[in-house]
Amino acid sequence: MRISDLSAIGTRRLLAVGVVAIGAILIATGVTLTAPRLAAALAARGADAVSQGELDRALAEFTWAIRLDPRNAAAYLGRGDASRRKHLPDCAIADLTQAIQLNPQSAAAYNLRGLAYVTAGDYARAIADHTQAIASSPRQPSFYADRAVAYQLSGNYDHALADYTEMLRLGPASAVAYLSRGLLYSGQGDYDQAIADYTRSIQLDPKLSDAYLNRALAYRERDRNAEAIQDLQTYLALEPNVPNRVQLEQQIKKLGGP
């Protein structure tokens, strides 16, 4: 496909997603405008749109890329990710399945499809996809965190705990991961471990209000009321408009606070 063939697609529609602009750049640099090359350029624009949160534009870019080159796995992956971010799990799963068929070694495609399955409430398939992603890329910390969420939502807390631990072992340290693991420890009644994780979370992100709130609850369970009061006060300072402020202030008084 050369620039003279673009009229068959419809110039007005192409202008909307920037195809003509890309074509002009390629011609100016002496690059032959083939369909796969143009599709790759559109897929790159789509990825940029996703990174900027412009999901509708991203969907348009990826869709044109797929029309020009139906074997462009990156375009299917990108459109699937954009659909997932727009909370359209069925569309996301369809595109990511196509991306996997075109590139069965893509750990990213499996992981993104796992996230889409989580949105759809299909935790078993989500876990299977995240497990496949981990098998392909076992040193990617985020894959363990994503599978941990699927395990947690499915009620498999021991496996979720193991995945958060592996994620933290691989690094980098994550305040949210420590908070999430702390919640699991609290749910199992292991408040000392929970407090340790909430404390580490706060060290990494001193403004993570949920870490203070949950550490306060763990302190209360361990009869460490003075520390619970301090954390509740810090939480309310960080979240002054929280809907249950009155109830938390009452809790502070019950614990012996002002």
pLDDT for the residue 37: 87
For residue 4, the one-letter residue type is S
Q: Which residue's structure tokens are 């100016």? A: 28
pLDDT for the residue 19: 52
* pTM > 0.85: yes or no: no
pLDDT for the residue 18: 53
Kindly report the CATH class assigned to 1-96: mainly alpha
Residues in the chain: 258
Half-sphere exposure at residue 53, Cβ-oriented, CA atoms within 13 angstroms: 0
pLDDT for the residue 2: 36
pLDDT for the residue 10: 38
pLDDT for the residue 9: 39
Per-residue pLDDT of the chain (258 residues; tens, 9 = 90+): 333 343 333 333 443 445 545 555 444 545 455 788 889 999 999 999 999 999 999 999 999 999 999 999 999 999 999 999 999 999 999 999 999 999 999 999 999 999 999 999 999 999 999 999 999 999 999 999 999 999 999 999 999 999 999 999 998 899 999 999 999 999 999 999 999 999 999 999 999 999 999 999 999 999 999 999 999 999 999 999 999 999 999 999 999 999
Give every CB contact of residue 249 below 8 A, 6+ residues apart in sequence: 236
Q: Which two tokens stand for residue 258?
A: 């002002």
Q: Which two tokens stand for residue 203?
A: 């060290």
Phi/psi at 125 (5° precision) = -70, -35
173-258 to CATH, choices 3.40.50.11540, 1.10.10.1110, 1.10.10.10, 1.25.40.10: 1.25.40.10
Domain residue spans of the chain: 1-96, 173-258
pLDDT for the residue 27: 44
Contact yes or no for 210/197 (Cβ under 8 A): no
SS (H, E, C) the chain: CCHHHHHHCCHHHHHHHCHHHHHHHHHHCCCCCCHHHHHHHHHHHHHHHHHCCCHHHHHHHHHHHHHHCCCCHHHHHHHHHHHHHCCCHHHHHHHHHHHHHHCCCCHHHHHHHHHHHHHHCCHHHHHHHHHHHHHHCCCCHHHHHHHHHHHHHCCCHHHHHHHHHHHHHHCCCCHHHHHHHHHHHHHCCCHHHHHHHHHHHHHHCCCCHHHHHHHHHHHHHCCCHHHHHHHHHHHHHHCCCCCCHHHHHHHHHHCCCC
Query: Does this chain's domain 1-96 share its CATH topology with 173-258?
Result: yes
